[in-house]
């Protein structure tokens, strides 16, 4: 799970209040960047909460590279962009404090609803990372003077890891490394 914390939405390219990454309509909860830790707190997963908190500050301090950069990404592949849960808490659970709920859940040792009831909502991405996260480097173009060249590959079985075997990608990379193509900071 640890590497996945880096892929969670951050303040770059996301609306902290309105970009919903998980929903629990039965209790009227929408998880965004601002309240993401609720899911760990409410389910008693203290190790995951600690791990999430450890990378949050670092993830939110990501700066532009400050050097000429080439970004290669895949899009057009179904990727999980949100989770939808429909767990029905009892009224007594809704009236309990969060601390009491967590304590009672840990004590009961029952299977948690979040392990079984999530419905994956798909959108555009590379089969691992959503397009919204993938396109954060586009923001760098306006924030640094050095060129940021972004190349997107779509379709034909190209995804998060298959890009490394894609002929178009390998040709573009070769042209950059060998220097056969003068890009002058423009799109490849």
Run means of pLDDT, 10 residues per run, the chain, 188 residues:
60 82 84 82 82 78 88 92 70 47 48 66 90 89 94 85 92 88 56
In this structure, the number of other CB atoms found within 10 A of the CB of residue 172 comes to: 19
How far is residue 147's CA from residue 155's CA, in Å, rounded to a whole number? 26
Scanning the structure block, which residue is given the tokens 């290669």? 72
Residue 114: predicted pLDDT? 58
Sketch the domain layout of the chain as residue ranges. Answer: 2-178
- Nearest-angstrom CA–CA distance, 179 and 84: 47
Q: What is the pLDDT of residue 2?
A: 44
Q: What is the pLDDT of residue 67?
A: 96
With beta carbons less than 8 A apart as the criterion, state whether 63 and 107 touch.
Answer: no
């Amino acid at each position: 799970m640890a590497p996945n914390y880096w892929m969670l939405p951050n303040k770059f390219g996301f609306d902290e209040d309105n970009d919903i990454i998980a929903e629990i309509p039965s209790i009227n909860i929408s998880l965004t960047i601002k309240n993401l830790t609720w899911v760990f707190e409410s389910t008693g997963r203290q190790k995951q909460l600690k791990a999430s908190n450890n990378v949050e500050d670092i993830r939110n301090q990501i700066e532009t590279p400050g050097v000429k950069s080439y970004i290669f990404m895949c899009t057009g592949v179904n990727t999980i962009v949100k989770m939808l849960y429909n767990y029905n808490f009892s009224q007594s659970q809704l009236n309990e404090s969060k601390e009491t709920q967590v304590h009672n859940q840990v004590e009961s040792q029952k299977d948690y609803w979040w392990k079984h009831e999530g419905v994956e909502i798909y959108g555009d991405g590379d089969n691992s990372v959503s397009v919204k996260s993938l396109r954060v480097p586009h923001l760098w173009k306006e924030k640094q003077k050095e060129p940021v060249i972004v190349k997107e590959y779509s379709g034909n079985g190209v995804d998060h890891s298959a890009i490394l075997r894609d002929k178009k990608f390998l040709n573009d990379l070769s042209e950059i490394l060998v220097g056969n193509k003068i890009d002058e900071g423009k799109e490849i």
